Chains A and B, each alone.
Chain A
Amino acid sequence: MAHYALNINGVTHQVDVAADTPLLWVLRDTLGLLGTKFGCGVGNCGACMVHLGGLPTRSCMTPVSTVGRKKVLTIEGLTAQGDHPLQKAWQELDVPQCGYCQGGQIMTAAALLQETTHPTDAEIDDAMAGNLCRCAAYQRIRAGIHRAAEIAAKQGVKS
């Protein structure tokens, strides 16, 4: 066991866990932040996507010992009320089917929109390639990202 101070969604959490514990399981089991999902454990599906130091990162492949002082943002921290442009667009277009992968989809999309305010279909396909949706709600995920870009532009804020 080792001690870590983790900055998650703007709050510092003190945890005592094995050094090789993936950030995913620290979030889920230790801190009860259950929005970040376990899908494959090997970085293939994207259900565990968080932002680490602002970059989309698979938390199932990120040992807690490597997090350091980097800020962790999870789906719970994007906005708790659901008013991030992507969260709004997802509700407006009724994107989810089972919904299990959607937290990860939104976190990857949020990183994309930070870099590219109005992505093309090809840019979306490229950015989202590591996020699997078994229900195959891809058509609405793609539409949701376009819609979120519009909402963000209207709000005049960077999403």
Chain B
Amino acid sequence: MKRRDFLQRSALGSGGLLLGSYLDTATAAETIAKPSGAAPLGGFKPNAFISISSQGVVTLISKQPEIGQGIKTSLPMVIAEELEVNWKDVRIVQGDLDPIYGGQSAGGSTSTPNNYNNFLRLGATARTMLVQAAAQTWKVAVGECLAANSAVQHQASGRSLSYAELASRAATLPLPSAESVKLKDPRDYKLLGTRIGGVDNLAIVTGKPLFGIDVHLPGMLYAVFEKCPAFGGKVLSANLEAIKALPGVRDAFVIAGTSQLTGLMPGVAIVAESTWAAFSARRQLKVTWDEGTVVEQSWDGFAAQAQKVSKQAGTVQLRKDGDPAAAFGRASKTVEASYSYPFISHASIEPQNCTAWFHDGALELWAPTQNPAAGQNLVANTLGLPKEKITLHITRSGGGFGRRLSADYIVEAAAIAQRVAAPVKLTWSREDDLRHDHYRAGGFHFLRGALDGQGKLTAWHNHFVTFANRITRDGASVLQPGSGASLSGDEFPGRWVANCLLEQTPMECGIPMGPWRAPGSNVFAWVFHSFIDELAHAGGRDPLEFRLELLGQQDLVAGTGERALPYNVGRMRRVLTEAAQKADWGRKKFPRGQGQGIAFHFSHRGYIAEVAEVTVSKAGVLKVNRVVVASDIGSQIVNLSGAENQVQGSVIDALGTLMFAELDIQRGRVVQRNFNDYTLIGMSDAPPRIEVHFVKSNEPVTGMGEPAFPPLAPAVCNAIFAATGKRVRQMPLSRSDLSWS
């Protein structure tokens, strides 16, 4: 199929590249996403991201993976704003992994801040060239021409040329100098800050193939991969011959794998003619495993160990300010508490999957991934392939939450495909997904706080007992805490309390860990803002007023820890005050069993404060009635609809995590199997009111996928305390008795 036909055909679709089109247009689909490809005939392609056809179709590349955070819609909006193009003329194509696009990892809410300014310039540069093309055509000065609505107008003469008409001439122009490209005044924005629906919405609501699991290639085979239920176990033997004899099974083999816990783990692959044939055969699979010493590990064992080590000094000192011992000695009141949270799973509804095809001396991959380069690297390093021989097509992901920053399922598919003379799709079962995740680590915090006679916080001590894997780095064996399982000495209230001791003790474990939405922050905010609330109440202080005093009046607090991030207190005070005002903090009277709680957190460049209003029945049933969120994520909201959706989703996700999420670990493996014993929040527990307020600042624009998550759990738990007098110090809530009389 020719590029132009492809463009026209995709123009008839929803605006998204349909995966189904890989069936017959794989080449065309790839070509259009390739920056090195020539401009469409008679068209204009000023850079890797923008292509305008002679029919006026504007194709924009979305380089970042779409995992539900809305980036496939919002980043192209940034180009379209400066390009002065009608949004209805725009078609979005998901780009493959390609160095020309720069970084393509979607994690840490960085897609927006890392690309925003560049994308403004990309659009503005193309618009400048289209204006130049019009000025040349009319032989008038550039300054007399104005771009708007996918056209350039010459106001004096009333003439107008559409981008379609200008494309071929614009294509002959040299790139303009950087100085001649003028960015718009944000006050003139027409698109940014408005509500734009997701570009794949039509495809989603009509059931079009979009996701990794929907990839379907001619002659494709279907694979499953059974790993040891105990983490890191190796295959000793398997009934491969019996499996190969089963209906629909093409092959079965052992993959020796590596010892890297988040890489290619050992296992048994079954390749079959359908997913169901592979699933069915797997039920007959008998593997003898060497489970190793990980079987000695259990959650209960770690919890007991944490209690024991909490009595000793931490093995790592993260921060020591002032003289904490002396400050505790002269305190009017000392509060002590311990908090804990379990390991949890990402549990995206689309299980991990990947399609891999070795052909013509190269490997082609289709993967729902947040970090395609990590996939390419892991495959290259594990299988000994040159990176340039690995093409990776990024599909839409059915949820990410950090899970798809890992590439284990990609290397598994590649290792299986290496043995199969056909494209092969690896599909994990839900049980695989839950039992072979790279988990959000559990943790234990042992806290002490000192108050003076005025109820002012004078000393803070936290001993954080956490989890780490033993790895080899530069030839040395070291303990590496899991992602988000290491505390920064700068984490609030570090830097704010004159006498502060932060310590950490990692417990060695064989449990694979990885980033989970707002790593670290998703639990630290809960622990610290719950304990701050305890201190406020112990000192007889209003929780908001106590927090404002703690934050202080200084505008910017410089970073001191290894991450060295400055903390803009002014921005936090503004969102905190905004959330409190909108929620009528301190002005509402609640009967027993109802109450408000407040918390704030800075993460991922976002300053967020939240107030929760709850009812707890006498029987102890929690209902979150209302959540007020105030966010400062910079000077511009890109897509208002998407940003609000992320905040609402973060709030409900955080509530579900607080209420239900918990994995038990026994004998070195996860006990839970599926959604029947790993509970996700459902609609009835979602708060009926979530009010989203954006406080604009003059700061750089940032992302909204994560920062609204962390403050929710402490806001809810502080509200539970206000309602019942019961302090929640253990996640999930299902472990706490909230009944009252």
- Please give the residue numbers on chain A whose beta carbons come within 8 Å of chain B beta carbons, in ascending order: 1, 17-18, 20-22, 25, 28-30, 32-42, 44-45, 47, 74-76, 78-82, 86-87, 90-92, 94-103, 106, 121, 124-126, 128-129, 131-142
Q: Using known A-B contacts A18-B248, A29-B276, A45-B349, determine if residue A94 contacts B642 with beta carbons closer than 8 Å.
A: yes
A-B residue pairs in contact (CB < 8 Å), sample of 17: A28-B275, A37-B211, A41-B429, A44-B674, A76-B207, A91-B201, A94-B195, A97-B69, A99-B68, A99-B398, A100-B348, A100-B399, A128-B683, A129-B682, A136-B681, A137-B645, A140-B648
Known: A39-B675, A75-B207. 5 other contacts (CB 8 A): A28-B275, A35-B209, A39-B430, A94-B196, A140-B648
Residues in chain B near residue A86, CB distance under 8 A: 205
Closest beta carbon of chain A to B145's beta carbon, Å: 35
Q: How far is the CB of A86 from chain B (nearest CB, A)?
A: 8
Whether A34 lies near B216 (C-beta < 8 A) is: yes
Q: Tell yes or no: B350 within 8 A of A by CB.
A: yes
B624 CB to closest chain A CB (Å) equals 12
- Select A35's contact among B70, B208, B277, beta carbons within 8 Å: B208
A98/B398 in contact, CB under 8 A? yes
Which residue of chain A lies nearest to B641 when distances are taken between CB atoms in the complex?
A94
Q: Are A37 and B280 in contact (CB under 8 A)?
A: no
Known A82-B202, A91-B197, A97-B70; contact A36-B653, beta-carbon cutoff 8 A: no
Q: Write the chain B residue with the least CB distance to A100.
A: B398
> Does B349 lie within 8 Å of A37, measured CB to CB?
yes
Asked if A37 and B398 make an inter-chain contact with CB atoms under 8 angstroms apart, the answer reads yes
Q: A38-B213, A138-B652 are in contact. Are A132 and B201 (CB under 8 A)?
A: no
Q: Is B198 part of the contact surface with A, judged by Cβ < 8 Å? A: yes
Question: A129, B683: Cβ atoms under 8 Å?
Answer: yes
CB < 8 Å neighbour of B198 from A96, A121, A134: A96
The 10 closest A-B pairs by CB, nearest first: A35-B207, A98-B68, A100-B398, A75-B207, A136-B652, A44-B675, A99-B204, A138-B686, A97-B68, A125-B684
Q: Complex: how many Å from CA A68 to CA B646?
A: 43
- CA separation between A90 and B80, bound complex, in Å? 24
Q: How far is A40 from B679 in the complex, measured between Cα atoms in Å?
A: 12
- The reply to whether A99 and B210 contact each other, CB–CB distance below 8 Å, is yes
Counting chain A CB atoms within 10 Å of each CB, the highest count among B70, B397, B682, B688 belongs to: B682
| Separation of A22 and B277 alpha carbons in the complex (Å) | 11
A138 to B: closest C-beta gap in Å = 4
Q: Is the CB of A39 within 8 A of B275?
A: no
Q: Which of A32, A76, A98, A128 contacts B348 (CB 8 A)?
A: A98
Complex interface bits, B211-240 against A, C-beta within 8 A gives 1, otherwise 0: 101101000001000000000000000000
> Separation in Å of the B198 CB from the closest CB of chain A?
6
Least CB distance from A149 to B in Å reads 16
State whether A41 touches B201 (Cβ < 8 A): no
How far does the alpha carbon of A86 sit from the alpha carbon of B20 in the complex, in Å? 24
Is B204 a contact partner of A39 (Cβ separation < 8 A)?
A: no
Are B280 and A80 in contact, CB atoms less than 8 angstroms apart? no
A80 and B675 contact, Cβ closer than 8 Å, known pairs A29-B222, A41-B430, A135-B649: no
B69, B277, B648, B676: the one within 8 Å of A137 (CB) = B648
User: Is there a chain A Cβ closer than 8 Å to B656's Cβ?
Assistant: yes
List residues of chain B with CB within 8 A of the CB of A125: 682-684
Q: Are A136 and B213 in contact (CB under 8 A)?
A: no
Q: Are A29 and B205 in contact (CB under 8 A)?
A: no
**Least CB distance, B510 to chain A, in whole angstroms:** 27
* Complex Cα–Cα for A125 and B681 (A): 12
B682 partner residues in chain A, CB cutoff 8 A:
125, 128-129, 131-132, 138
Instruction: Kindly state the separation between the CA atoms of A43 and B184 in the bound complex, as whole angstroms.
Output: 52
Alpha-carbon gap, A108 to B172, bound state (A)? 54
Q: Shortest CB–CB separation between residue B710 and chain A, in angstroms?
A: 15
Q: How far is the CB of B284 from chain A (nearest CB, A)?
A: 13
Query: Contacts A134-B680, A135-B68 known; A80 to B206 CB distance under 8 Å?
Result: yes
B354 within 8 A of A: no
Pairwise interchain contact B427-A98, C-beta atoms closer than 8 A: no
Interface set, chain B 379-404, CB cutoff 8 A to A:
396-401
Find chain B residues with CB under 8 A from A30 CB. Answer: 274
What CA separation (Å) do A42 and B201 show in the bound complex?
27
B270 vs chain A, min Cβ distance (A):
15
Give the residues from 57 to 84 in chain B that come closer than 8 angstroms, CB to CB, to chain A: 66-70
Confirm or deny: B622 has a beta carbon within 8 angstroms of a beta carbon on chain A.
Answer: no
Residue from the list A25, A40, A137 in contact with B275, Cβ < 8 A: A25
In the complex, are the beta carbons of A141 and B348 less than 8 A apart? no
Are A99 and B396 in contact, with the CB atoms below 8 A? yes
Whether A47 and B349, one on each chain, are in contact in the complex, defined by CB atoms closer than 8 angstroms, is yes
Cα of A121 to Cα of B535 in the assembled complex, Å: 39
Contact of A40 among B211, B213, B216, B674 (CB under 8 A): B674
* Contact call B205/A87, Cβ cutoff below 8 A: yes
Contact B675 A45 (CB under 8 A): yes
Cα distance, A87 to B349, chains bound together (Å):
21
CB distance from A127 to the nearest CB of B (A): 9
Contacts of B350 in A (CB 8 A): 37, 39, 98, 100
B248 touches A100 (CB 8 A): no
- How far is the CB of A6 from the nearest CB of chain B, in Å? 15
- Chain B proximity of A80: nearest CB distance (Å): 6
CB contact list, B394-446 vs A, under 8 A: 396-401, 427, 429-430
For the complex formed, measure the closest distance between the CB of A137 and the CB atoms of chain B, giving whole angstroms: 6
B152 at the A interface (CB under 8 A): no
> B200 contacts the other chain (Cβ, under 8 Å)?
yes
User: In the complex, how many angstroms separate the beta carbon of B272 from the nearest chain A beta carbon?
Assistant: 10
- Chain A, Cβ-Cβ closest to B676: A44
Residue numbers in B under 8 Å from A35 (CB-CB)? 206-209
Shortest Cβ gap from B651 to chain A (Å): 8
Known: A98-B68, A140-B648. A91 touches B205 (CB 8 A): yes
Q: Does A100 lie within 8 Å of B675, measured CB to CB?
A: no
Complex Cα spacing A17 to B728, Å: 53
CB distance from B399 to the nearest CB of A (A): 5
Q: Given the complex, which residues of A lie within 8 Å of B247, measured CB to CB? A: 1, 18
B683 / chain A contacts, CB cutoff of 8 Å: 124-125, 128-129, 131, 133, 138, 141-142
Which positions 637-669 of chain B face chain A at CB distance < 8 Å? 641-642, 645-646, 648-653, 656
Does B447 belong to the interface (CB within 8 Å)?
A: no
Of the candidates B248, B349, B656, which one forms a contact with A39 in the assembled complex, judged by CB atoms under 8 Å apart? B349
B268 contacts A by Cβ under 8 Å: no
For the complex formed, measure the closest distance between the CB of B144 and the CB atoms of chain A, giving whole angstroms: 39
Which residues of the other chain, B, contact A36 by a CB distance below 8 angstroms? Answer: 207
Q: Which A residues lie within 8 Å of B280 (CB)?
A: 18, 20
B210 contacts A18, CB within 8 Å?
Answer: no
Q: Which chain A residue shows the least CB distance to B687?
A: A139
Q: Is B539 an interface residue (CB 8 A)?
A: no
For A126, the chain B residues whose CB sits under 8 A away are: 684
Q: Is A42 a contact partner of B430 (Cβ separation < 8 A)? A: yes
Cβ distance B534 to chain A, nearest Cβ, rounded Å: 28
B347 at interface, CB cutoff 8 A: yes
Q: Which residues of A contact B200 (CB under 8 A)?
A: 96, 99
Closest B residue to A144 using CB positions: B205
Give the complex CA separation of A35 and B18 in angstroms.
12
